[in-house]
Amino acid sequence: MHETLSNLPLLSGLPAQVLVVLAMVSAGGIILGCIAVGGMFFIWSERKVAGYIQSRYGPMYVGGWHGVLQSLADGVKLLLKEDIWPEKADKPLWRMAPLLVFLGAFLSFVVLPFGPNFVGANLDIGLFYVMATSSLVVMGVISAGWGSNNKWALYGALRGAAQVISYEIPLGLALLPVVMSTGSLNLGTIIQAQAGWIHNWHLLNPLFFVSFWIYVISSLAEVNRVPFDLPETESELVSGYHTEYTGMKFAFFFLGEYADMFVVSAIGVTVFLGGWYSGIPALDVPALFPLIFILKSFFLVFVQIWLRWTLPRLRVDQLMYVCWKVFIPIALANLLLYGVIRTVLS
Amino acid sequence: MISGLIWFLFAGVSVGSAVVVATSKNVVHCGFGLLFTLLGVCAMYAFLGADFLMATQVIVYVGGILVLVLFAVMMTHRIESNRLRDELVQPVAALGAAALVFGLSMLMITRTAWDEKVPGEALPTTSSFGRAFLTDYLFPFEFASVLLLVAMMGAALITREKKEEEDQ
């Protein structure tokens, strides 16, 4: 990034330190732009898919063709909306919450590998780093719930935090066999282990296949999607931890949520679905890598949307039962089995 | 120069929020102050090229311990009316304890022969961590694991016994 900028004729006269700052700011700007555009696209597609599943059209007017610019119009509306806050809110925490939620999603985007040379920061601990950034989202949710000074918000926040920290365990355990197999936490290395024909994808290894389903279901809980959307159950908690938020603050929660959906899908694609490889060696040209990666991730996001409009919601006790008594034992047994097989075979 | 400025920014964040943790009278604000202190320390690790330690810091302290602390605080009845009192004895005792810890850690820092390296590119540290845990430090590593497992089982046992008493 820094080198690209210093090669531009317009900027070549600037001192190196200014260029470093410029490179940092523009890298951040690019990620922010991706999240905003991607988030708006996902919100539009969520409404269209919901409409299709419920035999109606969804947004049709704004932007001409099938209401494609509906999210942009909504964004402008949210920008212009009056910023209302509860009088007895804990102001610092209440203001900080949307930023923390958004920051968690933003930081994860930095390591997503769209192509071999098309990644914000090629960290050696990529997978571990993504697990770490999701902790910030939990803090944002707690901060929103407490700061709002509202019972619904607090209940939603407590549920959200309990759910996310519980499901982080099966999520991590499901990813571990793949890490053992590739011997690396670097997302690029994990993808390169799946090069070639489609049978090299980790999904098609029987033990990783089990891991994949545990990962997908746990990631639904991580991003508070149906059937695990207990933190924002509209029939009992109004809308949970973001009940009191309006305008741009609400928009940050909303964008953060959709960005998180993309992040968990992209990690699923990276670890199990061959990342930027298409599964057919003839199609694997570097120019197509980002496209393939994004299309696969969009497909997993679509699955999340599809499930949301299909499944009913679990109860709180069922949610915890599934996590602690079903997923964690299966994931642990799977990990142990993989370790044993690997040791025996080597 | 710029990385120096950013270093001071993060150092300022950790120290500033640590002051909030120590002085704020609202327990929840203390908790969130601790969040920024931990994140600042995490940035320090990043500057030292300790990438694995950085992520572990966030997962263990922010994602685990801090969330549990805030949970406990929020589930306490009427937490906001019970503001922490600053009596005369408490600040003196706290200052004494802080001075003692500071003195001891300074003593340790100055007496240790550090293996000095120029901070540069973040080198992969994960594999060397793994190797060290499973060879040279196998016993402490396993010991800590068993200790944590026992603590976990103990916690589960305590909550279960209470539940049975309630049922009777």
- Other beta carbons within 10 Å of A222: 23
Q: What is the pLDDT of residues A22-44, one digit of tens each?
A: 777 887 888 888 888 888 888 88
A136 is written with which tokens?
């910030």
Asked if B55's CB is within 8 angstroms of A135's CB, the reply is no
Q: What is the pLDDT of residues A125-158, one digit of tens each?
A: 888 888 888 878 888 888 888 888 788 888 888 8
Q: How far apart are CA B118 and CA A172, in angstroms?
A: 34
Query: What's the pTM value of the predicted model, to 2 decimals?
Result: 0.83
Which of A131, A146, A185 is the closest to B126 by Cβ?
A185
Q: How far apart are CA A103 and CA B9, in angstroms?
A: 18
Can you point out the beta strands (E) in A157-304? Answer: none
Chain B within 8 Å of A131 (Cβ-Cβ)?
yes
How close B55 gets to chain A, by Cα (Å)? Answer: 6
Instruction: Tally DSSP H helices, then E strands, for chain A.
Output: 13, 0
- Give ∠ CA B114-A124-A275 in degrees, rounded to 5: 175
Q: Which residues of B touch A92 (CB under 8 A)?
A: 29, 32
Chain A within 8 Å of B58 (Cβ-Cβ)?
yes
Q: What is the predicted pLDDT for the residue at B168?
A: 45
Interface predicted TM-score of the whole assembly (ipTM), two decimals: 0.75
Q: What is the predicted pLDDT for the residue at B163?
A: 53
Q: Which residues of A touch B32 (CB under 8 A)?
A: 92-93, 96, 139, 143
How close B104 gets to chain A, by Cα (Å)? Answer: 32
A111-140 CB burial, b ≥16 within 10 A, e <16: bbbbbeeebbeebbbbbbbbbbbbbbbbbb
Asked whether A144 and A97 are in contact (CB, 8 A), the reply is yes
Q: What is the predicted pLDDT for the residue at B162?
A: 59
Farthest CA pair distance, chain A? 65
How many beta-carbon pairs under 8 angstroms link A with B?
76
Q: Residue A197: helix, strand or coil by DSSP?
A: coil
Q: How far apart are CA A240 and CA A141, in angstroms?
A: 10
Q: Which of B43, B65, B62 is nearest to B54 (CA)?
A: B43
For testing contact with chain A, the best of B35, B38, B57, B163 (most A CBs within 10 A): B35
Q: How far apart are CA A195 and CA A201, in angstroms?
A: 8
Q: Is the peptide bond before A98 cis (omega within 30 degrees of 0)?
A: no
Q: How far apart are CA A148 and CA A89, in angstroms?
A: 5
Q: What is the pLDDT of residues B86-141, one digit of tens each?
A: 567 777 888 899 899 999 999 998 888 777 666 555 567 777 788 888 888 889 98
Which of A20, A124, A134 is the closest to B2 by Cβ?
A20
Q: Domain boundaries in chain A?
A: 1-80, 86-345
Chain A within 8 Å of B124 (Cβ-Cβ)?
yes
Asked if B74's CB is within 8 angstroms of A124's CB, the reply is no
Q: How far apart are CA A136 and CA A110, in angstroms?
A: 15
